[in-house]
Amino acid sequence: MSTDEVYVFRPFKLIALFCVFIALALDVVALLSPAWVTSEHYSLSLWEACRQSTDVWHCLSTLKTDWQVATLVLILTAATITLLSFLVSLISFCLGTYRRYYRIVAVLLFAAVVLQVCALILYPIKFIDSSMLRSYHEFNWGYGLGWGSAIFMLGAAILYCLRTDIYEDAYY
């Protein structure tokens, strides 16, 4: 690069890579969260349902009902796709071949968003429909982290769709 040339660095792809990392981290924490639905003496996660009776918590697996297994499979699949897209994005960014794979990463992330949103819509509908808890309950931070992960996945997918390279060549 000579002294007359100007290079404009637009960090959209780096920000997108960071968003995918945050989405993956939020997804892992949401999967491991013990609190998706809570009430005074009840806690429900993706893996187990716990009830408190006289200072002792009794937990049972939630993998017996089909809608909870479907939710878990959808979120695990979305997390796996997010991990794959993160690895492809990271490797292509480090090797400098980033333009070739960004469209693939964007499509993978849009697919992960669809799976994640389907799981996050299915979960409260089937929870309320099954009437597991007849008292006051609230969807807790584990469920919220699932939505946060979906938002970061969507943001990263949109950033990977931006084509800033074709506009830079026309000006410089």
Nearest residue to 84 (alpha-carbon basis) of 118, 111, 49, 44: 111
Tokens coding 13 = 């792809």
Of residues 50 and 112, the one with the higher pLDDT is 112
Rounded CA separation 58/54 (Å): 10
Give the pLDDT confidence of 114-147 residue by residue, as tens digits.
Answer: 999 999 999 888 888 876 556 677 888 889 999 9
Which range has the worst mean pLDDT, 30-34, 48-52, 59-63, 93-97?
93-97
State yes or no: pLDDT of 51 exceeds 70.
yes
Domains and CATH numbers, the chain: 12-164 (1.20.140.150)
Tokens coding 100 = 């070739």
pLDDT, position 170: 47
> Do the Cβ atoms of 34 and 79 come closer than 8 Å?
no
Tokens coding 171 = 């000006």
